[in-house]
A and B are shown apart, each in its own frame.
Chain A
Amino acid sequence: MAEIVQSGGKRGRGKKRARLGVRLDMTPMVDVAFLLLTFFMLTTTLLTPQVMEITMPPDSKVPVEIAESNLLTLRVRRDMSVFWNMGSEAPQKIAEADVPKILKQHLQINPKLSTLIKIDRQAKYQNLVSMIDDLNETQAELGQSEKRFSLVAMDDTDQKIVGGL
């Protein structure tokens, strides 16, 4: 591979000479390097997953009292239909896409509003993430930093309330 180009072979033999032009063939090294480059390029995943941080109360048995006017309840039924109500009003069905609109409307009037998210155990995880995401986005849009919401699974009473709607 490496070849030594001797120039002027006629000069004296026994005499030590400084190395003359040494030409290295770099092609194999470059080949290997590019092979490795291709390998690493194909195996890296530059996209790290995003996370949504939520904080839960340490003990769920302690009841929290909240004024009815400060409570917005969102319920997700097992067929993924969404219902909302303020305080103890009757729940109303809304399209999932309209949740941010409702939240924005009410959070704008009352920044102290707490949101209660109730999800059926048979509903999907995506429903939970969408609800929290809508809430986060609305709060970011309105410039409110506090992310107050509670999350519970629907119980039998909730099933009765939204079951027939």
Chain B
Amino acid sequence: MTPMVDVGFLLLTFFMLTAKFKPQSDEPLQIMLPVAAADTTKLPDANLATIQVGLKARPTGEIDTVIEFGVSNEKDRAPIYKQLNLTDPKTGAPLSDAQLAMKSGVVVTKTTLETAVEQARLQNPSMRYAIDADSAVNFGTIDDVMHALQKWGATRMNLVTMNKQKS
């Protein structure tokens, strides 16, 4: 039994070390990534700002486009999110720095996205920007997001894609 236990512990250590736990954002978006074959770059872990664009269906059947702005570095979160005047949905009180630092992403509109990008550029100039959008989102929304990034000089952007299986 000893060899089996040895292997078991080895695997356990491996999976424990590779596991990553992400705090959930307010409204996790279901994103169907677009497929692409030519990309080989991987998404960095640190110094990354992700703009998630997803689709959400209302009970009435209409589909809304939701934009979420998220910062990977916990220490950068509070200073950036603070400018967006976020409030607690229950009490209406402004969120504290500690509460803001817990949020991996916040919902933004087209206008507050520009503020968020501006703050992110000021807070951490080495930040990289990724657009993580659903493949069925209208190009118009993506165009707006790209213009917001371009406006504040974040001209290098990463489009998150899923690897197409080559046949």
B9-17, B56-64, B71-79, B119-127 - the one binding chain A: B9-17
Give how many A-B residue pairs fall within 8 Å (CB-CB).
Answer: 151
Contact of B161 among A56, A60, A129 (CB under 8 A): A129
Question: A52 to B159, Cβ gap below 8 A?
Answer: yes
Question: A125 to B160, Cβ gap below 8 A?
Answer: no
Tell me whether B24 is interfacial, beta carbon within 8 Å: no
Q: Is the interface of A mostly helix, strand, loop or mixed?
A: mixed
A163 to chain B, nearest CB (A): 17
Tell me whether B33 is interfacial, beta carbon within 8 Å: yes
Complex formed: what's the CA distance from A123 to B140 in Å? 8
Tell me the count of chain A residues lying within 8 A, CB to CB, of chain B: 43
Q: Which residue of B lies closest to A50 (CB)?
A: B39
B15 to chain A, nearest CB (A): 3
Tell me the count of chain B residues lying within 8 A, CB to CB, of chain A: 50
Tell me whether B95 is interfacial, beta carbon within 8 Å: no
Complex formed: what's the CA distance from A127 to B136 in Å? 9
A161 to chain B, nearest CB (A): 18
Question: A129 to B34, Cβ gap below 8 A?
Answer: yes
Q: Which residue of A lies closest to B135 (CB)?
A: A126
Q: List 8 A-B contacts (CB under 8 A).
A: A33-B8, A49-B160, A49-B162, A53-B158, A121-B138, A125-B135, A126-B34, A137-B37
